């Protein structure tokens, strides 16, 4: 695989290349936690969902979304799965939990349903629009820089868990 090709396409909208981690030939890197099955909580510690899967690009080896199964007693629906951009989530420093400090119940409930194999460019734009800040202007999306947005910042995701360990590597 050519490094130049990967670097050129690293931030391009990858909707047609995203795969579920467990249905691929890739594994979580040594030393990185496998978060499938972990509870997803709000900043007060209330359970909102469970991590069902990770959606990633095998070419760039970057996780783009958490596939979350919403908690039925909170949202009043059974079996609803949504995509949460990885930059919104934070791993708990010690416990096997994922926190969503910047996402409200309203936004999570409004997120489009995740349907395996049906993530399109329109789906990803809808997800980004759902999670944008309340009073911010609608964004113009550039396919070439789609994943440069803070919504996809993996350092935010892994940061608290590995702070002080010197681990700044990105990837699966």
Task: Give tens-digit pLDDT for 29-73.
Answer: 777 888 999 999 998 889 999 999 999 888 888 889 999 999 988
pLDDT in tens, 70-129: 998 888 888 899 999 999 999 887 889 999 988 888 899 999 999 998 888 889 989 988
CA 90/CA 73 separation, integer angstroms = 23
- Contact (CB, 8 A) for 56 and 63: yes
Highest CATH level, class, for 3-162: alpha beta
- Quick one: which H or E segment has residue 109? helix 105-110
CA 94/CA 98 separation, integer angstroms = 11
Q: What is the DSSP string of 32-69?
A: S---TT-EEE-TT--EEEEEEEEEEETTTTEEEEEEEE
Domain spans of the chain? 3-162
CA 24/CA 38 separation, integer angstroms = 20
Q: 3-state class of 91 per DSSP?
A: strand
Q: What is the pTM of this model?
A: 0.79
Which pair of tokens denotes residue 55? 């959606």
């Amino acid at each position: 695989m050519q490094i130049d090709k990967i670097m050129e396409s690293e931030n391009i909208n990858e909707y047609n290349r995203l795969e579920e981690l467990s249905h691929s030939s890739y594994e979580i890197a040594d030393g990185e936690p496998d978060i499938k099955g972990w509870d997803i909580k709000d900043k007060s510690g209330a359970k909102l969902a469970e991590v069902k899967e990770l959606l990633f690009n095998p070419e760039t080896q970057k996780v783009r979304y958490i596939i979350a199964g919403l908690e039925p007693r909170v949202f009043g629906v059974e079996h609803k799965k949504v995509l949460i951009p990885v930059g919104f989530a934070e791993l708990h420093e010690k416990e096997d939990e994922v926190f969503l400090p910047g996402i409200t119940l309203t936004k999570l409930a409004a997120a489009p349903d995740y349907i395996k194999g049906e993530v399109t460019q329109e789906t990803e734009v809808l997800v980004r629009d759902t999670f944008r800040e309340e009073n911010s202007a609608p964004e113009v999306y550039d396919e070439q820089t789609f994943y440069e947005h803070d919504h996809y910042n993996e350092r935010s995701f892994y940061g608290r868990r590995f702070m002080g360990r010197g681990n700044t590597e990105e990837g699966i």
